[in-house]
């Protein structure tokens, strides 16, 4: 799964990656957590790329309560096209979520130790996501999103049995196009990203609390074999 991630690069870097006008000034985020607002890139009705700030944790259009989004922060790539919570968004509302790293936890006798996974050169990338619009009985419409996950590559498999889908830039347009995806096209995109350019770094348990959102969250500590619990 993907339950926390980071986005710390400058807005101009993201504009280049996604070939879009820069997002308004954004603060570096070192511990993005579910239910928080996150930036996405999607196609507008004219088919042009646009930014949007949406809630992380997808709320289906038919939901009676927004709390369901707390359980829908991830969607399995293998079944999202059929699941009632995701199938409508999968057909028409796919999106990109910019990031430059994410966290996974390994269980030890004394507890769980987080690791920070990123590209070795620190470059930003994009998760494959879905977005949805929900109109509550009262109040304003809420837009929300989820991150697709797949089986892990050889690096992530030592940490977890799932990993987020990371799309290469040459797949961005195919993913956010507003038409339905063929099963063959989806299968070609929703694969584990090769591990060669990635690394996993043990980090502090400070990241366990979403209240902590600063550079200390990504600072290396100890090692996977001999965790240095705080």
Hey, which residues are catalytic here?
Answer: 2, 104
Give Cβ neighbours of residue 91 (< 8 Å, ≥ 6 apart). 81, 180, 181
- In the chain, where does DSSP find H-type helix? 11-18, 87-92, 172-176, 183-189
Single out the residue of 99, 107, 97 nearest to residue 75, CA to CA: 97
The distance of Cα 201 from the centroid of its chain, to the nearest Å, equals: 18
Residue tagged 């992380």 (tokens): 56
On the CB side of 125, CA atoms within 13 Å amount to 22
Residue written as tokens 């995806």? 181
Closest CA to 129 of 143, 149, 146, 152: 146
Phi, psi of 49 (to 5 degrees): -75, 140
Distance CA 130, CA 135 (A): 17
Asked if 133 and 143 count as a contact pair (C-beta separation under 8 A), the reply is yes
């Amino acid at each position: 799964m993907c339950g926390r991630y980071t986005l710390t690069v400058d807005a101009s870097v993201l504009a280049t990656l996604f070939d879009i006008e820069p997002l308004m000034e954004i603060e570096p985020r070192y511990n993005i957590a579910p239910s928080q607002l996150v930036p996405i890139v999607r196609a507008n009705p004219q088919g042009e790329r646009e930014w949007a700030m949406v809630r992380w944790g997808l709320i289906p259009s038919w939901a009676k309560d927004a709390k369901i989004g707390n359980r829908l922060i991830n969607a399995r790539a293998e079944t999202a096209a059929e699941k009632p919570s995701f199938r409508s968004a999968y057909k028409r509302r796919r999106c990109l979520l910019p990031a430059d790293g994410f966290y996974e936890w390994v269980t030890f006798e004394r507890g769980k130790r987080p690791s920070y996974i990123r590209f070795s050169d620190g470059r930003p990338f994009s998760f494959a996501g879905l977005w949805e619009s929900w109109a509550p009985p009262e109040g304003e419409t809420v837009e929300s999103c989820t991150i697709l996950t797949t089986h892990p590559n050889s690096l992530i498999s030592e940490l977890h049995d799932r990993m987020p889908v990371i799309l290469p830039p040459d797949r961005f347009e195919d993913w956010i196009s507003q038409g339905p995806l063929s099963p063959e096209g989806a299968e070609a995109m929703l694969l584990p990203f090769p591990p060669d350019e990635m690394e996993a770094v043990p980090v502090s348990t400070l990241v366990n609390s979403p209240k902590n959102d600063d550079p200390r969250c990504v600072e290396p500590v100890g090692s996977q074999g001999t965790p240095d619990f705080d």
